Amino acid sequence: MENTLQKKRIAICYFGKTRATRFIFKSHQKHLFELLKKVNIEYDIFMHNWKTYDNLIQRDSLKVPDDYLEYTLLDPTCYRIDKQDDYLNSLTWTDYCDEEAFKIHGDSKYTWVPKLIKNNVCAQESLRRVTDMCTRYGKHYDYVLYIRPDLLLESDFNCKLFDQVTDTSIHILAYGGHAGYNDKMALTAYSSCEHYGNRITKYMAYKKEFLRVAAEVFCKYCVDLHFKEVYLMPLRTCLIRPNQTRDQAGP
């Protein structure tokens, strides 16, 4: 008989637009889900997605129709999709982005690139919403793994990392951090996941003090504020774009 007393639970939280899930889901099955089963860790999958007004994924000159059904490939326990423009319209955008400063100074100490600010704010809000889905689900978990649904896994997730997880520790993906921490993948204890998942709540105070809110630097600020031990996960990964092109790869 299976010893259920020893079974650990992890919530896997996907955030942001799915975009390329159809190209990466098999790598998650092979390099993550199957490994969790082998070490007797039970997992549930939570996903938050955005719907855009034009139903297009746009990046530079790339325009690809959104596939709002590809999330099913990851077979989530809970799934939620919200209208991105409803969220953006609820914000006082000048509180988040100083477009006049950008016109004068460009990407500088005064402000980041407006388009990147928009993308990052939406990603962080999606992160907050999937964290809320997870914590309201009514089940206790030992760990939370945050991961983007367009991240290709090219090596096995190291399940020994779970032995290092504490209330004050976090594992961040070792992936180009641009003077900060990259947020494409992170592992925390369930008890401290909101410190990571709700960091958008600190956005306004950070902007007031530092003016420029760049994604990786802000992530590092929030992580260092709440976690005493920060570890880098040497997992080989790569972002996949909707046209199947590869972005910057991890180690």
* DSSP per-residue letters across 37-97: HHTTEEEEEEEEEEE-TT-EEEETTEEEE--TTGGGGG--SEEEEEEHHHHHHTS-GGGT-
pTM: 0.93
Give the HSE-up count for residue 149: Cα atoms under 13 Å, Cβ half-sphere. Answer: 33
Indicate the Cα dihedral angle 244, 187, 130, 36, nearest 10°.
80
What digits encode the pLDDT tens for the residues 63-118?
778 899 999 999 999 999 999 999 999 999 999 999 999 999 999 999 999 999 99
Residue with token string 């190209």: 23
- Taking the alpha carbons of 36, 15, 80, 227 in that order, is the dihedral positive or negative? positive
R_g over Cα of the chain = 18
d(CA 131, CA 227): 17
d(CA 245, CA 142): 35
Question: Can you give the CATH number for the domain in which 58 is found?
Answer: 3.90.550
Task: Give 69's DSSP letter.
Answer: T
pLDDT given for residue 172 in this prediction: 96
Task: Give 201's DSSP letter.
Answer: G
The tally of domains found in the chain comes to 1
Residue with token string 């976090």: 170
Calculate mean pLDDT across residues 223-243.
Answer: 94
pLDDT given for residue 126 in this prediction: 99
Domain span at residue 243 reads 4-249
pLDDT over threshold 50, residue 208: yes
Question: SS3 of 5, please?
Answer: helix
Question: CA dist 223 to 68, 183, 226, Å?
Answer: 32, 10, 6
Per mean pLDDT, which of 50-54, 98-102, 140-144 is the most reliable?
A: 140-144
Q: Which of 5-14, 215-224, 241-250 has the lowest mean pLDDT?
A: 241-250
Calculate mean pLDDT across residues 129-152.
Answer: 98
Say what percent of the chain tops pLDDT 90. Answer: 83
